[in-house]
Structures are given as structure tokens and as C-alpha cells.
């Protein structure tokens, strides 16, 4: 009589404490990069990470919670890169340049993160406190540059918030065009992303500089 085939499943991949959350975030980013948001589900993320379909629920209540974690990580990393580049400069004006360039370069180097960070995925923003906190840091760095420039008498005065929104809109627009490949398709890719960001932020700062007073 033939031996009965074993029905026990093969051992599933095991994760050390904390590794599963990281694996799920990485799997999400990979899935978005390769197949887009329409392919993203907790089931597909679990499959890509090599875990059971129920495993993601140990860390995330649903897909939105997973995307919030991805976005939170993105905002944290972007702010860190902005600080690093800004810390190389002492002048508020040059720090403002560095702030904008770092924003654009983060987007180009991390397109999946960038798309999650600014996509229309979050219907329960009040539940994602970490996302709200991290999301405010990068804009806070921009506002810090503007206020310091005003205090030093280098940038035009007044309420810094509209200036900050204008500056953010400009660099975010460039970042989005680069991430979505619009500039490449239009044949306007002779400059590198860093060169474009430098050029754009310098034009921006020229508009923010306090006009020289005639003697």
C-alpha cells in the first residue's frame, strides 16, 4: 500500500520581531512601483512578502492604515534629507535653495513613496496621527527658512504662510512632473533633476528677495 501523502504545509517564512512590518511596507512599495495602486491590497502585499493573508492584520487594520505607514515613513525620510542638505548652508537664502532641491530629489529617488504621500488615499486622516506629525515637518523646515530670511532682512516681509505655500507649490509641481515622466515625454529633459531644481529654486528666491532700496 502506498504511503499516504503528508498534508502538513511547508514552514512559512519567519520574521524576527519588527521585521514583518518592514517587509509589508517594502512589499507595498514594490507593488506600487511595478503595478500601480490598483494592484495594491493586503492580500497581494502578504503574497509578495511571503506571509499568510492574515499576517498584515497584526500591524495594519486595513489598506489605508498600511498606506499611512508608508506615507509616514516617506515624510520622515524626506525631512531628514532636507535637514541634511540645509545643514550644509549657513545663509537663510542658501538654506532655502537646499530645502527645495532636497524635496525634488527625494521625489525623484523615491517615486512610490512620493505618490503615496500625496495621493488621495486617506479618508480617516484623524486616525493617522503619526502621518499628520511627520507630514508637517518638511513644511515646517520651509517655513523656518522663510522666517529666518525675513528676520535677517533678506526676504520680503509680511505673513510668511502665503510665501511658504507659493514656494511649496512650485517645487511640488516640478517634483510631480518629474515623477510622472511628463517632462521626459515633452522632450524637456536636457537638464538633470538637480539642475532643474536648482534653477527653479533660484528663480523662486529671486522673487522672494527684498527689493534693493535706491540710495
Tens digit of each residue's pLDDT (9 = 90 or more) over 23-71: 999 999 999 999 888 888 899 999 999 999 898 888 888 999 999 999 9
47 with 128, same domain: the answer is no
Q: Rounded distance, CA 108 to CA 135, Å? A: 18
Residue 112, pLDDT score: 92
Residue 18, pLDDT score: 56
Residue 126 contacts residue 113 (beta carbons within 8 Å): no
Strand-pair partners of 155: 209
51 with 151, same domain: the answer is no
Residue 209, pLDDT score: 87
**180, part of any domain:** yes
Q: What CATH number corresponds to the domain at position 31?
A: 1.10.10.60
Cβ-Cβ contacts under 8 Å for 89 (sequence gap 6 or more): 95, 97, 98
Domain count along the chain: 2
The boundaries of the domain holding residue 202 are 71-208
89 with 19, same domain: the answer is no
Q: What CATH number corresponds to the domain at position 143?
A: 1.10.357.10
Residue 92 contacts residue 149 (beta carbons within 8 Å): yes
Q: How far is CA 110 from CA 42, 120, 149, 172, in A?
A: 21, 18, 29, 14
Residue 87 has phi, psi (to 5 degrees) of -65, -15
Residues of the chain with pLDDT under 70: 1-18, 186-189, 212-215
**214, part of any domain:** no
- pTM, to two decimals: 0.83
Pick from 7, 32, 60: which residue ends a domain? 60
Q: Rounded distance, CA 147 to CA 133, Å? A: 21
Q: How many Cα atoms sit within 13 Å of 70 on the Cβ side?
A: 31
51 with 80, same domain: the answer is no
162 with 102, same domain: the answer is yes
The three cell numbers of residue 80 are 531628514
85 with 189, same domain: the answer is yes
Q: How many Cα atoms sit within 13 Å of 19 on the Cβ side?
A: 8
77 with 53, same domain: the answer is no
Residue 45, pLDDT score: 93
Rounded (5°) CA angle 189-175-147: 130
The three cell numbers of residue 55 are 499576517
**6, part of any domain:** no
Grid look-up 517594502 returns 26
144 with 174, same domain: the answer is yes
37 with 98, same domain: the answer is no
**56, part of any domain:** yes
Residue 183, pLDDT score: 80
Amino acid at each position: 500500500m502506498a504511503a499516504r501523502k503528508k498534508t502538513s504545509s511547508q514552514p512559512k517564512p519567519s520574521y524576527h520581531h519588527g521585521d514583518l512590518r518592514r517587509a509589508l511596507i517594502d512589499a507595498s512599495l514594490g507593488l506600487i512601483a511595478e503595478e500601480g495602486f490598483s494592484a495594491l491590497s493586503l492580500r497581494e502585499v502578504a503574497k509578495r512578502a511571503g506571509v499568510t493573508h492574515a499576517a498584515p492584520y497584526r500591524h495594519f487594520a486595513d489598506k489605508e492604515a498600511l498606506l499611512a505607514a508608508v506615507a509616514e515613513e516617506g515624510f520622515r525620510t524626506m525631512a531628514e534629507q532636507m535637514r541634511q542638505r540645509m545643514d550644509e548652508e549657513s545663509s537663510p537664502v542658501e538654506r532655502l535653495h537646499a530645502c527645495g532641491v532636497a524635496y525634488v530629489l527625494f521625489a525623484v529617488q523615491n517615486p512610490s513613496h512620493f505618490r503615496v504621500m500625496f495621493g488621495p488615499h486617506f479618508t480617516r486622516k484623524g486616525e493617522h496621527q503619526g502621518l499628520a506629525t511627520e507630514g508637517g515637518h518638511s513644511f515646517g523646515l520651509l517655513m523656518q527658512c522663510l522666517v529666518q530670511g525675513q528676520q535677517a532682512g533678506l526676504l520680503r516681509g509680511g505673513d510668511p504662510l502665503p510665501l511658504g505655500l507659493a514656494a511649496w507649490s512650485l517645487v511640488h509641481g516640478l517634483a510631480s512632473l518629474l515623477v510622472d515622466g511628463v517632462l521626459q515625454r515633452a522632450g524637456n529633459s536636457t537638464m538633470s533633476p538637480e539642475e532643474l531644481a536648482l534653477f527653479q529654486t533660484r528663480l523662486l528666491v529671486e522673487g522672494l528677495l527684498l527689493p534693493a532700496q535706491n540710495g
